[in-house]
Amino acid sequence: MDQARQELYLREMEISSWQVRMPAADPVEPPSAAAPVVLPEAVKDSGAKTKAQSLPEVVPVEPQPTADIDTADWPVLEAAVTACKRCALHSSRSRAVFGVGSQQAELMVIGEAPGADEDAQGEPFVGRAGQLLNEMLSAIGLPRQQVYITNMLKSRPPNNRNPQEAEIKACMPYLQRQIALVKPKVIICVGRVAASTLLERDESLSQLRLEQHQLPGTSIPLRVTYHPAYLLRSPSDKAKAWADMKLLRQLLVATD
Ligand code: SF4
């Protein structure tokens, strides 16, 4: 990408290159975004380190054998998500939000769960947060269409509350299969909930983003950065996100 074009994207992100610096303090986290990939036992058995919150009513769920998901191709997988009733979120969503982008992408972006815009449109990372994500990707020379973008949960939690343990456990096989099908060279988790769940780490996002990780059970490098919805509320952290994106670009080049 030429310098002028990058500067344009950075201006749209409200970032000047001279602003880039390392973080000084932990941010307040935003509320709430082949062979089967094997995620840690603790993810399968006890879910993420998220705050349990009870639903106002008991909603029937319909378990689907994970073996069917583990071998699904793209059309079968998307149809399964669209019709999914594996957790109670099926009753409150407008529609399931599967994922979007290149199925041969080198980079996979994983957020937490759909928000209101995504629930309405059926596509992850739309609205203002999606626009900012697009700008972050464009700043490192990656159009949205060249990346695969999805969320850990495919249905919106009511009022954007944090995902519950049972919901994460029910939905994780879909993400595992998406990762197995895309076979990304690199994964970036946006936001603490997705990062801490996939990495089984309790540290703050400020700490997690300083390390290069590996998706447990795989050899896929994984980096962490801020959720664009958080950056919209805390624009002073955009410079840190830009630093993360530059490290991500270096990692992608190194894995070529
Ligand atoms: S969140 Fe996942 S497991 Fe729950 S209903 Fe939606 S697609 Fe199914």
Ligand 1 atom 6: the closest Cα is on which residue? 155
3-class DSSP state for residue 237?
Answer: helix
CA of 86 to the centre of ligand 1 (A): 6
Residues 205 and 226: beta-carbon distance below 8 Å = yes
Residues 169 and 60: beta-carbon distance below 8 Å = no
- The reported pLDDT for the residue numbered 52 is 45
| Most ligand 1 atoms within 8 A of CB, residue of 62, 87, 95 to mutate | 87
State the closest ligand 1 atom to the C-alpha of 153, by its place in the atom list counted from 1. 1
CA of 157 to the centre of ligand 1 (A): 10
- The reported pLDDT for the residue numbered 39 is 58
State the closest ligand 1 atom to the C-alpha of 61, by its place in the atom list counted from 1. 5
CA of 80 to the centre of ligand 1 (A): 10
Per-residue pLDDT of the chain (256 residues; tens, 9 = 90+): 566 666 656 666 666 543 333 333 444 444 444 555 655 544 444 444 444 455 556 788 887 778 799 999 999 999 999 999 999 999 999 999 999 999 999 999 999 999 999 999 999 999 999 999 999 999 999 999 999 999 999 999 999 999 999 999 999 999 999 999 999 999 999 999 999 999 999 999 999 999 999 999 999 999 999 999 999 999 999 999 999 999 999 999 999 8
Ligand 1 atom 2: the closest Cα is on which residue? 171
- The reported pLDDT for the residue numbered 13 is 64
3-class DSSP state for residue 93?
Answer: coil
- The reported pLDDT for the residue numbered 21 is 34
- The reported pLDDT for the residue numbered 115 is 95
Pairing of strands 186-190, 221-225: parallel
Pairing of strands 186-190, 213-214: unpaired
Ligand 1 atom 1: the closest Cα is on which residue? 155
Q: Which residues line ligand 1 (CB under 6 A)?
A: 81, 84-87, 89-90, 96, 153-155, 167, 170-171
CA of 82 to the centre of ligand 1 (A): 9
Ligand 1 atom 4: the closest Cα is on which residue? 87
Ligand 1 atom 3: the closest Cα is on which residue? 171
CA of 174 to the centre of ligand 1 (A): 9
Residues 198 and 222: beta-carbon distance below 8 Å = yes
Residue 45 makes CB contacts below 8 A (sequence gap 6+) with: 169
